[in-house]
Amino acid sequence: MGRDIKFGKDEYREYTPESYDNRLDPEPITMEVHWLSGQEYRKYRDKLKIRTGHGDVSTNQEQINRKLLANNVRNITNYKVQGKPITDGDELYLHGEPDIMEEVLDVLTNLSRLESGQAGKSNSQSDSGSVSIKPSTGTA
């Protein structure tokens, strides 16, 4: 059968992180995320390459992570850290909990994980937390 990925270039989808049993919360943290293809990810990585004195090239993973979150995560709801609302990817990078940040970074390049955490619960045969795909409407 193969795998046929259908994800628009500028499409965002709503995602609910699973860290800290967030999906069980009556008011879970949600956000809109843009999944990156391998080509898009390499663009971020290549833009941030650093030439060393010996002609070697290295990447600053922290810079890549910050750019990935800042440019591909938006409309975060129901999330505060020390009273400060976290509403976008840059704030998530600067002030969010590492577990949630790492989960979202994984989701940006792992479509199956994104699909498993999308809003719009379905699957009446199981209580396993399966969810259906729900494209974002672009509003908070």
Q: CA–CA separation, 133 vs 61, rounded Å?
A: 30
For residue 92, give the H/E element and its range.
helix 89-95
Strand partners, 81: 84
Largest CA distance in the chain: 59
Domain ranges of the chain: 13-116
CA distances from 103 to 17, 65, 99, 138 (A): 7, 12, 6, 22
- The 10s digit of each residue's pLDDT in 58-98 is 667 888 889 899 999 999 999 999 999 999 999 999 999 99
CB contact at 8 A, 114 and 13: yes
Q: CA–CA separation, 15 vs 72, rounded Å?
A: 12
Determine the pLDDT at residue 121.
36
CB contact at 8 A, 69 and 90: yes
Q: Considering the entire predicted model, what is its pTM?
A: 0.71
Q: CA–CA separation, 67 vs 77, rounded Å?
A: 20
- The 10s digit of each residue's pLDDT in 89-138 is 999 999 999 999 999 998 887 765 666 665 543 332 333 333 333 455 55
What φ, ψ does residue 44 adopt, rounded to 5°?
Answer: -60, -50
Q: CA–CA separation, 116 vs 90, rounded Å?
A: 24
Determine the pLDDT at residue 78.
98
